[in-house]
Structure 1
């Protein structure tokens, strides 16, 4: 049977350790004085046994076994119970390499060995199941006597054998299903041998029934459903329906629902309807709602109903469906007194926020307060969701100056942040200011703290670093454009009457090159002078210098780009297609340069509606650009 690279590496490491330990004993080294250490040393597998177990030759294995038995005066069973440094027995090693005949012999010689665990808590059956070698599992179990010791029938095998779990809480059946083993006959035999195991949850709370439902293993689910199990065992499996929902398969969900597990809650109090609403499985939600005895108002441990969970995850279609089926869902509140708009704003789900704002029947939600007196705008501000804040502030029905129980408006929340400022907070502050938000006069926070973020002087060293970077850029632009002014494209005339004049002086593109180059040099020098003034150390002057220098530097970079395009176009204009390509690339590059540069000045905090409209899409671009990769994946 082919051996995986991982298995080879693991066995090689063990063989190396066994050889070192065994070699020390065979070369006459003294045994440790401590009796416990000596006993532990005797439990270690001889390197020759380890090597034969990896090779799988039964005759050679028996020969080595007899030889070691004679040398050390040990019974065969005692030798077979010896372990490698990772607590693997010969049976574990045979399972790793798929040596079926050797496994049969070892189990016949020492039946109890099949229950031994290695340092990961795995029996040999766990290892075989993980390697999708369930035929090995069947062979080993067929070779193992039943609890009474009288039968070799796998269906009467000792039940505790299949109930043994490793450190992950997985049984053999768990391992088979986790590793997508498709040997249907053997999986069904495992279920028939001990049906209760199908309902054992592992450390993740997933039973074999859950795994089979998630992976669309219809034959496994059917075998589990046909087995007779006590009701108390079924009650242990609280997430089987969740597995069917996770698999998003209608037929599988119907099968699981027929097993009457739909009312089970998981450890967090979530029902299958909570779970379907969470992952956005609309068809599953509909099937669950069709259950006549299903309660769509059950809450989880956080006090969330399924409609709150759908809002939290941004599954607007689920929200619509739940409102359609039970219109009184709009009145449901969480433990904190939050409606669905509160939840959507808190978790930054702007699609649900937009849906609620467009629904006339949900208009009362817009300025509703939770148990802490917070409106959806307060919550969106607290949890730093600038897009939701912007969406809310564009709605005229939203009162941006309402205060919560702590006497704070949404703007107060931004200003009360102890440490300045993330970019998201700056965007939120801009959105609120442009909507006319004001700080509350009766805030319970002292003015010195509320305004700390924007009144405290920034760190001088950080400002100087920014100034020096911009000064370096402006100096480089000035240097390049100055040099370009004396190396004109096309060169100079060397004969009368135009000695020293540019040869391409009368060309339109040459005029554009000269104008752009001159503009770039002058504005970059002007920006450099402003930034040099800022070096005197006054923080107010630094801030003013930055605001004035940036536009000049932007103009310089744009003009330099245009000048380069004009110069190259000029000298290759005889090759028409290449000149056109250069012109197109230049225009695209210029636009690409201007867009991020102008985003430095937009959006603005003015309440003027025209300026707000101009700033709207730049604001959305900045929100998108400032998201972390984790946030984008979640969305």
Structure 2
């Protein structure tokens, strides 16, 4: 902090001060400048403590105000109309102030022009008064709300000789407009290509070649990292694709960093002919395969079928193991999209990817899911059969939760897939594998209360019934805990699952009976008296709609099945556990 003191410093007075003006007071002044955050705070504290009758404080900030973006001039309506309509006479009159009879626009146009000026002249003879000096230069500076210059408008709206003449006229006045970008980053060439103005595209290329800026113009990217070449691919004009590749054989390599390549667009849009042109006519057959979100062209190709997939892999096999931002490979994408019997697409496309690089089968995404787990999730049975047939060890791949594809199939209730796995002797080794929570496929099938899925696992002799999970539970414990404290209904799956396990002598885990009871009541949120009161209420209601015989049968069933499994006697037995 710097301090400067001047005693009896007199404030300056104006020369216009009159003789009768009061005397200017003198004061002791101190000039203090703070240059750091700490000094500023000290200066504030000093101001609060300073004993002074008068004080002048000047505070400044070193933070520059945000620069204001320049406001672009709006394009003149008559110029915009002439450019969009390709009216060379009107455009020429506005830009060149020509008064030659052969080049004069209509009287109607002169009348419209007069409405934008201070004069009332409406005749050709008075036309030179209407347009002031410098008008043409200021006109070309105007843009639309999208930032389009007059050349953008001409390029996007027409293809004939009149439009090309208008383009020449504007370009002759200001060559920089040829590479001028609008708010979206599009040049006039982008606009012409997007509108499929093939003659205009060729004409703008010729103008750029004459200016020596052809390569730069063709490779200019807009805000979406797309060149004008991308627009040609998007509209599906293969002839124009060839024309631009002839002008610059490296166009298929752009954008260089990230973004979507022309090849990816061609495959996505099923423009197989354009895709082949891009490969065959690019310099040294070098082109970009990149796509959005870290994908490559093969991610799109596998969704379009085996023909384009095979062709793309023939060009570049390394695409098979490419991963996008979520870690997904093309094989992750291929699974499940062509499962119909007629197409036989999954087996074919997946097989093509694996032939290119079998390691793709073992590549998990960022969630830990290998392709075989994705197949289990979507029920792609034939894909899994092909994976197991090609590489049996892939059946044991685990996801981030320690689950095999069989665990996933059970959780997703893919019954057909579980049936197929249980019938395949080569998969017997995974039937009892446990996930990170210690659950086997049978544990999960009991949790899902899916009788058919439980039945196929239960009926396989290789499936062990008494393995315990991390909670010490066997499948029987889970079945018992899932059985509600209510009247037994043999129409429910949980009834049959529990009784089938009891019937074959499945065991409980190792724990104390009182702990099991406490856990059971905690699961169902009931107290010890709930069982009897609930049963009495149900029986009372049942007598109103059912016969006595059916109630007795239900009651007997309830008594037989309510006994604790695994050797436990009924709750009211005096001896307690067996």
Classify 1:45/1:324 alpha carbon distance in 2 versus 1 (closer, same or farther; 3 Å): same
Aligned to 1:219: 273
State the distance in 2 between where 1:183 and 1:57 align.
27
Classify 1:542/1:274 alpha carbon distance in 2 versus 1 (closer, same or farther; 3 Å): same
Instruction: Say which of 185, 206, 230 aligns to 1:142.
Output: 206
Question: Is 1:43 matched up with 2:73?
Answer: yes
Aligned to 1:228: 283
Instruction: Say which of 297, 302, 305 aligns to 1:248.
Output: 305
Instruction: Say which of 140, 145, 156 aligns to 1:80.
Output: 140
Instruction: Say which of 164, 167, 185 aligns to 2:239.
Output: 185
State the distance in 1 between where 2:258 and 2:520 align.
45
Classify 1:44/1:539 alpha carbon distance in 2 versus 1 (closer, same or farther; 3 Å): farther
Aligned to 2:157: 97
| 1:164 Cα offset (Å) | 0.6
State the distance in 1 between where 2:140 and 2:454 align.
71
Is contact 1:276-1:282 (8 Å) kept? Answer: no
| 1:209 Cα offset (Å) | 1.1
Is contact 2:179-2:217 (8 Å) kept? Answer: no
Unaligned runs of 5+ in 2: 1-66, 97-112, 118-129, 339-345, 483-490, 528-532, 548-556, 562-578
Unaligned runs of 5+ in 1: 1-35, 152-156, 418-425, 458-537, 553-603, 609-635
For residues 466-496 of structure 1, the C-alpha deviation after alignment (integer angstroms, 9 at most, x for no partner) is: xxxxxxxxxxxxxxxxxxxxxxxxxxxxxxx
Greater share of residues in helix: 1
For residues 156-195 of structure 1, the C-alpha deviation after alignment (integer angstroms, 9 at most, x for no partner) is: x22453341334x4433333334xx332111122334445
Is contact 2:419-2:453 (8 Å) kept? Answer: no
| 1:315 Cα offset (Å) | 1.6
For residues 107-153 of structure 1, the C-alpha deviation after alignment (integer angstroms, 9 at most, x for no partner) is: 4544433444444444444444444444443333333346xx248xx
State the distance in 1 between where 2:466 and 2:86 align.
79
Instruction: Say which of 255, 272, 278 aligns to 2:330.
Output: 272
For residues 510-551 of structure 1, the C-alpha deviation after alignment (integer angstroms, 9 at most, x for no partner) is: xxxxxxxxxxxxxxxxxxxxxxxxxxxx99999789878898
State the distance in 2 between where 1:550 and 1:88 align.
80
Classify 1:396/1:322 alpha carbon distance in 2 versus 1 (closer, same or farther; 3 Å): closer
For residues 79-127 of structure 1, the C-alpha deviation after alignment (integer angstroms, 9 at most, x for no partner) is: 3342222333333433443355144544454443344444444444444
State the distance in 1 between where 2:173 and 2:492 align.
74
Instruction: Say which of 314, 322, 334 aligns to 1:258.
Output: 314
State the distance in 2 between where 1:231 and 1:358 align.
49
Is contact 2:250-2:287 (8 Å) kept? Answer: no
State the structure with more CA Rg.
2
| 1:314 Cα offset (Å) | 1.9
Question: Is 1:62 matched up with 2:92?
Answer: yes
3-state SS, counterpart of residue 302 of structure 2:
helix
Aligned to 2:227: 171
Aligned to 2:469: 404
Which range moved further: 398-407 or 46-55? 398-407
Pairs within 5 Å for 1:501-520: none
| 1:356 Cα offset (Å) | 0.7
Aligned to 1:208: 262
Aligned to 1:300: 364
For residues 401-448 of structure 1, the C-alpha deviation after alignment (integer angstroms, 9 at most, x for no partner) is: 75432456679889999xxxxxxxx988677557559997869x9988
Question: Is 1:334 matched up with 2:388?
Answer: no
Is contact 1:341-1:376 (8 Å) kept? Answer: yes
Is contact 1:297-1:306 (8 Å) kept? Answer: yes
Classify 1:212/1:234 alpha carbon distance in 2 versus 1 (closer, same or farther; 3 Å): closer
| 1:362 Cα offset (Å) | 1.1
| 1:299 Cα offset (Å) | 0.8
Is contact 1:430-1:605 (8 Å) kept? Answer: no
| 1:341 Cα offset (Å) | 0.9
Is contact 1:199-1:209 (8 Å) kept? Answer: no
Is contact 2:395-2:430 (8 Å) kept? Answer: no
Classify 1:183/1:454 alpha carbon distance in 2 versus 1 (closer, same or farther; 3 Å): same
RMSD, matched Cα: 4.9
Is contact 1:435-1:607 (8 Å) kept? Answer: no
| 1:240 Cα offset (Å) | 1.9
For residues 49-92 of structure 1, the C-alpha deviation after alignment (integer angstroms, 9 at most, x for no partner) is: 33333333222233344579975754645533422223333334
Aligned to 1:618: none
Question: Is 1:319 matched up with 2:384?
Answer: yes
State the distance in 1 between where 2:81 and 2:558 align.
76
Aligned to 2:32: none
Classify 1:187/1:415 alpha carbon distance in 2 versus 1 (closer, same or farther; 3 Å): farther
Which range moved further: 89-98 or 373-382? 373-382
For residues 340-365 of structure 1, the C-alpha deviation after alignment (integer angstroms, 9 at most, x for no partner) is: 21232344433322211211221232
3-state SS, counterpart of residue 246 of structure 1:
coil
- Normalised by the size of structure 1, how large is the TM-score? 0.53
